[in-house]
Structure formats: structure tokens, C-alpha cells
Structure 1
Amino acid sequence: MTDATPMTHRKILEALSGILLALLVAILSSTIVANALPTILADLKGNQTQYTWVITSTLLASTATTPIWGKLADLFSKKLLFQIAITIFTIGSVLSGFAQDMEQLIGFRVVQGLGMGGVQALAQVIIGAMVSPRERGRYSGYTGAVMAAATVGGPLVGGFIVDTPGLGWRWTFFITVPLAVLALGVLSKTLKLPTVRKDVKIDYAGAFLITGGVSLVLMWVSFAGKDFGWISLETLAYLAGAAAALVAAYFVERRASSPVVPLRLFKHRTLSLAVLGSVAVGTSMFGASVFLGQYFQLSRGFSPTKAGLLTLPLVAGLTIASTVSGQLISKYGKWKNFLVTGAVVLVVGLGLLGTIDHGTNLVLMGAYMLLTGVGLGLTMQNLVLAVQNDVAMADLGAASSTVTFFRSLGGTAGVAVLGSVLASQVSTKIAAGLPPGTPAGTGGGTLDLVHLPGPIQALVRGAYGDAMATLFLIAAVAAVVTVVAVVMIKEVPLRTSMDIPQPVVGSPTGEAPVHLPVDADLRNVDNSTPDVDNSLLHVGDRR
């Protein structure tokens, strides 16, 4: 029996608290190890390639499975799927904390990523199912703030844990477990959504082919330039395999009765442009969190905790911009100006970071990071909001997870590519600065700089600091794509209804929103609540 009582603002926040807590720990897990990695690699005898893979293995698993979780959310209980994702993530966290070598750690991080992909995708879907687009801006600001704090604050927490006697790097994984369990408890009591019951056929072939194709591309990006050349037989094999899988997925998705990624969604202008813009946003978000911590530690010689503190301007900019823009969007129902402004500010911030070296004034660094954070805060969540406003409830999961998927894809590929560029730049700069006759590779293959001879240590620190500029310039060029994409998006005022009114003939905005019949279970929900602050539906679970 459903309960059609409107949710109060307090009830919404209670339900949101469990969702945001789960989102916090999931994203935190991908960034908390950033400042702990030098310690982890020293303890587990890891190398530079494994350094990158501790991060990218989680992002890879998360990225590849995001569209699958999103599609399942359109077919089954969103609440149950969210709880399953949190459970998988928790298991992966425990296993990672007990890892005895780098191979085990990378494998267990994949398990974490499987759960993290579900948490990130389903959080967006569930919020979209609870709140109308007009009111969603108000709450998406909180979501953006949590994602910001987790993405960039993770290195700070990780550094503090590593520097705290009696804890050690294993607690960077263990610390997320009680928070995940708490999120499960809060969700079981506060989250009430309609359970959609359908007789469906799962598109296993499409899921397998999409996951395989994306994985091959990301693995190629991670290995090329280090384990084999960018132009080589190995590169050809990876790209040929990825192309074959993705082409096969295209034909499978065209014929599937319930495809993982409905291809018709890409005929929709807003979604296609939001996907394009999200790739660069992901590159900037994850790239900044991973490499700024490395810059402050390896180039400037700060401790893990201080390195995390120095990235706080990025966190502050992202958090404030995301929260304030969400409130203003809900108040006025307009979102495009925020997107365009954010994209431009993001390019400027990254461009300024592209001027740094090993001796850049820290106050200037803080200003550059603040601008970058503001740009991310204005774009990250609002791209998802623009898409959710233009799709029917039946496609909410697939559309939301598609944007999240490409943002994660940009982050995963960005970390891999930028990491490869950094390694190459550092090696070149060190080789150029070494005295003639010095053995090749001196100082370039270790992250344990403390034990290097003084002159070599200074050379390596300078090489890391000077090489970082190239990474941010690459990210700035990528962010120009976001500017172009958001300028081309046509603004559609945020609707106040939960679903697109049926039937719809044409579109006065010139757009062609995706109109699908609302699921039979959802037709029984009364969506005629007046458009006031608390005009949200509270639908009880069907037992």
C-alpha cells in the first residue's frame, strides 16, 4: 500500500543523509589513498606503474559498471540496489585493508570499484526519483558539496591517517567501513521509494560488451607509453579488441528489448552535449585530487597532512559554488548561466595551474585552486540536473548514469594519461639535469625521495614541480570542450512535475525530450501536489 503523504523538508533531508553518507564514503575511497600511496608502495614493495593502478583500478571498475547499475535502477528496486552496492563496496574496503601485496590490493580495489559505481550512479537516480527538477537544484547542491569534499578532501584525511601514530595506511580503507554500515542503517529507516515490478529480460550481452570495450580502452591508456609504445602491436591489439566489442555492443543495444544504454537517448541534444562536457569535468576533478597532493609532497616536500591542507582552497571553491548555485537554481528555475560561467572559470583556473613550477608562491597556488574548484562546483552537478530535467521518469536511471559514466570515464582516462605524461616529463627533466656519466634512471624510479642524495633529491623535486604544469595545461585544453558543449545546450526551464506530462505533442523549446510511458506502478502515484517548497512525494515500499 502506498503512502502519498508529501515529504516535509526534514524528511527529505533524513532520506538524503543516508544517500550522501554512502556517496561520501564511496568517493572518499578513491581519493583517500592519494597521499598514502608513497607509504603503501614502500610497505608493499610497489613500483610507479602500480602507483597509478591503485587509483585507476577502482575508477575502471566503477566506470565500466555505472551504466549497468543505472539501467537496473529503471527495472528493479532502487533502494535494494543501493544497499547491495554499499555492501559490495564495504567488502572491498575490508579486503583492501588486509592486502599483503600490490597485486592483492589492486584486485580488492576492483571490488571496491564495483560497489562505488553503483553508489555514484544510484545516488543521482534516487534523488531524481524523490525530487522534482525545480526542487532538485536545491538538494543537488548538497550532493555536489559532498562529492567535492570527498574528492579533494580524501587526500587530507589519508595524509592525516598515515601521519597518526598507531593507525597506518591500512586504516585509509578500514575507516570507510563503519561509515558505510551507518549509511545502510540510515537508508533502511529513511529511504522510501516505489518498488517497480516488471517482467524484464536483462541485457547481459550488452552489459558484457560495453564493460569489455571500455575496460580495454582504459587499460590501453594506462599501459601505453610505459609497458609498450603508443604505436605498437600491443596498442593495435587493445584498440582492435575495444573497437570490436563496442561495435558489437552497438548492434546488440539496437536490438535489445531493454538495453543497458538506450541508444535513442543520444538523439537527445541535451544528453549528448552533457556527456561531452562531463568527460573534461571528470578529468579535471580526479586529476586535480590525485596530482595536486603529489605536487605538494614530492615537489614541495610537505608531509601528507600538510599536502592535504594545502588543497583546501579547491575544496572550498567547489563546495561553496555547488551549494550556492543549487539554491539559486531552485529559486529561479534557470541553470545555463551557471554552467557556462563554471566551464569558463574552470578553463581559467586550470590554465593558471598550468603556469606553476617547483617554486610557485603558495598564495597564488591557493587562488588558482579556488578558481578551479568554483568551476567544478558550477558544472559537475548541474550537467546531471540539465539531463534529468529533459527525460521521462522511466529513463531517469539510464540517463543519469550515462552522464556519471562519462564523467568517471574522463576521470579514469585522465588519471592514466596524465600519470603517463608526468612519468615521461619527470624522466626527461631528471636526465637533462644529471651530470654526464651518471647512471640512467638515477632518482627517477623511486618515490622515496628522503633517502636520495641531497643534490639528486633537489633535482627530482624540481622535475616533479616543473612537470606538473604540463598536466594542468592538458586538462585546461580538455575543459575548453566543456565550454563549447554547455554553450550549445539549449536551456529548458526546470519543470515542477516529477515526470514529463503525458501525452506530449512537440516541444515549445525546440528540444525533443525523451517521452516514454510512466511505469504502471508509478501511474498509481498522485503527482498533482501543488508546487510549493515541500511538494515531494513520499511513497512507501511495497512488501
Structure 2
Amino acid sequence: MATTTPSGVRGGHAEHGGADAPDGGAPMTHRQIMEALSGLLLGMFVAILSSTIVSNALPEIIGDLGGGQSAYTWVVTASLLAMTATTPLWGKLADLFSKKLLVQLALIVYVLGSVVAGLSTSSGMLIACRVVQGIGVGGLSALAQIVMAAMISPRERGRYSGYLGATFAVATVGGPLLGGVITDTDWLGWRWCFYVGVPFAVVALVVLQKTLKLPVVKREVTVDWWGASLISASVSLLLVWVTFAGDKYAWASWQTAAMVGGSVALGALFVLVESRASDPIIPLRLFRNRTITLASLASLFVGVAMFAGTVFFSQYFQLARGESPTMSGVLTIPMIGGLFVSSTVSGLVITRTGRWKAWLVGGGVLVTAGLGLLGGIRYDTPYWHVAVFMAVMGLGIGMMMQNLVLCTQNQVPPQDLGAASSVVTFFRSLGGAVGVSALGAVLGTKVTDYVGEGLRKLGPEAAALGHGGTGGGGIPDLDALPEPVRLVMEDAYGHGVGDVFLYSAPFALLALLVTLFIKEVALRTHHGEEG
């Protein structure tokens, strides 16, 4: 039977009510809420920063550690895979244990993974550390929304979700910028890409200990380890397939059949286990709620678009336009600006009006339009065109990302808050992980084709270079190439990245179409109210 400490009543207003103090006392002021959220936002910043900071440093990291193209892919994919697979488990644990303790545990896991990653002596060791980092990041990503929901009513939460979205925006694009600066600074080196977040995480731990006060809900604890293992295995197998398909083996091959079939079988077994579990990691009854089902689908498609932007812009600016890692980060600022503005403004307006659907639909339109426009970029596209297109996409993502979680939280009882929030976050991470892997494979194939075609046009001598070192997704050293061949490479990468964005646009359109069918329920001022 569920019980609580004297400071809160299970499922009542004290724990989940609108802007009430977590101890059940007087309503919390804006200042008190911001103090309580400060450590959480800092932890979230560190978590997202770690996911993006390596993007501009990867060529140097892999070259230094002696890894190949598969290692390059897995340094990114390993973290996303671990984050995706563990998100539902963190969400479920938040319904069973102290949320504050779990946030601190996630930060500790992240710090340990980061420190050892900076000490890596091989690509295999680095990939293993990225898995540990991903577990911590998965916890912070899932728990940030859950802790906010435990303190703030749905009506007020829009405002603070905007702050969370702004933090996400700064870290998402600030990561590559900071990584580029660190990589270009001789006395630092790429290892500081992993060390730089550690002091912030330690500060976040201290701040959380002092400012975050939530009632501890005591329950008879039953963790669905079978469910957690099966969903992790299913997702992992799917991502392994997407990562290597088209490179190590053909898309249509026996390996594809075995991996996809195995993933589907494990997924079916997961559903069977969850239907019989006394305390499932993802309660299947949640999907009887139309809003949760549709929001999860929309998050899946938004994840593809969101991560495509953050991963492939750095390659576009460095390999198609010849920019340094630092400038590559600077040139993506229009996207962070759009995301920052729209997430903050939409949160404030939603808090005042209680209405959120127009923002979701508008965001879907902007993301689709932005990706469609980016689909036409080439290596010589005027930068101001690219900047406008990035800003449009950023505005759309900012409107959708946090508000999909918000509309879900608005329609679940307190005891399912953690599971429901993590389900939406899980599907967004899954979309991002699968999208990065699949679109990365597409980019490698397209670049190889475009390079071969361009070299043939230069004449027999250039054609003898074949794919110019880009076969299997290899990345050339542009500075070492003669000018005509370099232009071919830049043109190939510009065209290839444009194709990636063009292929991402239909997913954004699907997200838009799904949001049209989500029924708007005005945000509640208390968790106990009926929607």
C-alpha cells in the first residue's frame, strides 16, 4: 500500500498541486521555484552539453585514438542508445523512489562516465564510457520533466517548461561551439570536451542538495527488470542494425532480416511481459489515452528532425564550407536563437492562456518548412539563406519539444506521472537515435556517389581516385586535397547534407499530422482536477 511522509499526501495537492510548496505548505513563489529548479536546470544543461560537445571534435578524437569510421559512428550512437534504452527505467524508478536521490544518482553516473572518457586510450574504451554517460543523461532527461511536474501544476508548468527548453537550446547548439573552441585550443585538447562538464555537474549536485525539496513517496517497491531488459535489448538491436546497414552489409540482407526480426520479437515479448507485470515499467494502459499515444508518435518523428539538425550542421559547415570547428558552432546560432525564443515565449503564453495545441501545430508547420528549405542547400548557398532556414526549424522545434510532454502530463494521475513523461521522452530519443544512424548512413552513401560523379567530370586522372577516400562513410582531410578535388568534396557534402534534411522533412510532416488529432484539454491548475 502506498504511504507518504507527513509532508505530503499520496496523489494529493501537496505533492503535485499547482505551485504549492513541496512540503504541503504555502504556495511557492516564482523565486522559490527557480531556486528549486536551478540545480535541475544546471544538471540538464550538463547532460545535453555532453551529448553535443563531441560533434565538432570527433575527427580529431578518432584520429588520435586510432579508430575507423565505425568507431566514429558509435561514439555518437552509443550515448544515444544508452539514453534511449534507460529512459523508461528512470521514469519508472521516479514513481517508486526519491526523485531528488535519482537526479543526484544520474549526475554521479554522468560524472564517472565523463572522467573516464577523458582518460580513454582506445576508441573501444571511449565508446564504453559514452554508454555510461548516456545512462546518466537518460536519467537527467527523464527526471527533469518529472521533478518539475512534482512541484508545479500543469497550468503553471508551461512557463517553466520554457526555461527548460531554453536550457536545452543553449546546450544543444552551445555544445558544438564549445567543443570546437576546445579542439582549436592547443593547450586544452579534445579530452577537455569530457572534463569540462564535470565541475558543472558537481555544482549541480550541491545546489540540488540545498534547494530541491520534494516529499518522498514510500511504496512497496517492485521494479520490472524483465521489462527493462527486453525493451533495452529490442531498442539496442534496432540501433545496431540501422548503424551498420548499408555499410557492413546491404539494407536488404539476411543480417537485416535477423536483426529487425529479432528486435520485433523482443518488442513483442516486452509487450507480453508488460501486460502481465504487477508494476510494469511502461503501463500499457497509458496508451488507451489517445493523447499519450499521439504525443508519443509525434515525439518519435520530432526526434528525427531535432537530432538531424544538431548532428549534421557541424558536418555541413566544416566539410562543405571549410569552416573551423569553432566557426561551425558560431554559424549554428540562428537555430539556437529560434529554439530559445519559441520555447520561452510559448511557455509563458501557455501559462497565461492554458491553451497549447496551436503551438504544437504551428511548431509542426515551421519544422516541416525549415527542413524542406534546408533540403535545397548546397556548399555555395548564401549563408543568410541557411541562417533563416535554421531559425525557422529552431522556432518549430522549440514550440513542440517541451509542449508534447506538457500535454501528456496534463492527462495522467500523479502515480503515472513518471512513466507517462518518460514514455514521451523515450520516443523522442528513439527517433533521434534511429534518425542519426539511418541519416548518417544515407549521408555516407550520397557523398560517395556525388564525389565519384564529380571526380569523373574532372577527367581520367581525377576519376582514378574513385570515391576520393569517402567510401564506407570515410571522412577526407580537405586541407590535403588539391583545389579542384577539394571543391568536388565540398560540393558532395553540401549536396549530401541537403539531401539528409530533405529526407527528414516528411518525418516532421508526420509529426504535424499527428498533432492535428490530439484533443486539446485546457491545462489544469491542480493535479487533482479533472481535465
Category of TM-score, reference length = shorter chain: over 0.9
**2:464 aligned counterpart, secondary structure:** coil
Is 1:250 the counterpart of 2:276 in the alignment?
no
Q: Is the 8 A contact 2:89 2:228 kept in 1?
A: yes
Distance in 2, matches of 1:223 and 1:448, equals 23
Is 1:109 the counterpart of 2:135 in the alignment?
no
Instruction: Select the residue among 37, 51, 56 that pairs with 1:16.
Output: 37
The one-letter code matched in structure 1 to 2:112 is I
2:240: which partner in 1? 219
1:469: which partner in 2? 498
2:18: which partner in 1? none
Q: Is the 8 A contact 2:449 2:467 kept in 1?
A: no
Offset of residue 4 of structure 1: 2.3
The one-letter code matched in structure 2 to 1:440 is G
Q: What do residues 160-194 of structure 1 show as CA deviations (whole Å, max 9, x unaligned)? A: 11112311111110001001111100000000111
Q: What do residues 366-411 of structure 1 show as CA deviations (whole Å, max 9, x unaligned)? A: 0000000000010000100000001111100000000000000011
Is 1:87 the counterpart of 2:88 in the alignment?
no
1:123: which partner in 2? 144
Counterpart mapping for 1:491-510 below 5 A: 491-500=520-529
**1:423 aligned counterpart, secondary structure:** helix
**1:380 aligned counterpart, secondary structure:** helix
Instruction: Select the residue among 335, 347, 353 that pairs with 1:314.
Output: 335
2:464: which partner in 1? 438
Instruction: Select the residue among 190, 198, 219 that pairs with 2:211.
Output: 190
Is 1:395 the counterpart of 2:416 in the alignment?
yes
The one-letter code matched in structure 2 to 1:232 is S
| Percentage identity across paired residues of the two chains | 53
**2:524 aligned counterpart, secondary structure:** coil
2:3: which partner in 1? none
- Post-superposition, which runs of at least 4 consecutive aligned residues in structure 1 deviate over 3 A? none
1:516: which partner in 2? none
Is 1:163 the counterpart of 2:184 in the alignment?
yes
Distance in 2, matches of 1:50 and 1:360, equals 31
2:24: which partner in 1? 4
The one-letter code matched in structure 2 to 1:474 is Y
Offset of residue 500 of structure 1: 4.2
Distance in 2, matches of 1:57 and 1:302, equals 27
Distance in 2, matches of 1:391 and 1:446, equals 47
Q: What do residues 184-232 of structure 1 show as CA deviations (whole Å, max 9, x unaligned)? A: 0000000011111111322111111111011111111111111111111
Distance in 2, matches of 1:29 and 1:500, equals 39
Distance in 2, matches of 1:405 and 1:139, equals 21
Instruction: Select the residue among 297, 310, 325 that pairs with 1:289.
Output: 310
TM-score, reference length from structure 2: 0.93
Distance in 2, matches of 1:227 and 1:11, equals 54
The one-letter code matched in structure 1 to 2:29 is T
2:356: which partner in 1? 335
Offset of residue 149 of structure 1: 1.2
The one-letter code matched in structure 2 to 1:61 is A
The one-letter code matched in structure 2 to 1:272 is T
The one-letter code matched in structure 1 to 2:337 is A
1:489: which partner in 2? 518
Instruction: Select the residue among 46, 66, 81 that pairs with 2:67.
Output: 46
Q: What do residues 253-277 of structure 1 show as CA deviations (whole Å, max 9, x unaligned)? A: 0000100000011111101111111
2:325: which partner in 1? 304
RMSD: 1.1
**1:432 aligned counterpart, secondary structure:** helix
> Which structure 2 segments of 5+ residues have no match?
1-5, 8-22
1:534: which partner in 2? none
Q: Which has the higher contact order (CA 8 A, sep 6+)?
A: 1
Is 1:455 the counterpart of 2:484 in the alignment?
yes
Distance in 2, matches of 1:246 and 1:95, equals 33
Offset of residue 433 of structure 1: 1.7
Distance in 1, matches of 2:528 and 2:62, equals 50
Q: What do residues 75-134 of structure 1 show as CA deviations (whole Å, max 9, x unaligned)? A: 111111111111001111111111112111111100100111001001110001110000
Offset of residue 456 of structure 1: 2.1
Distance in 1, matches of 2:118 and 2:390, equals 31
Distance in 1, matches of 2:226 and 2:502, equals 39
TM-score, reference length from structure 1: 0.91
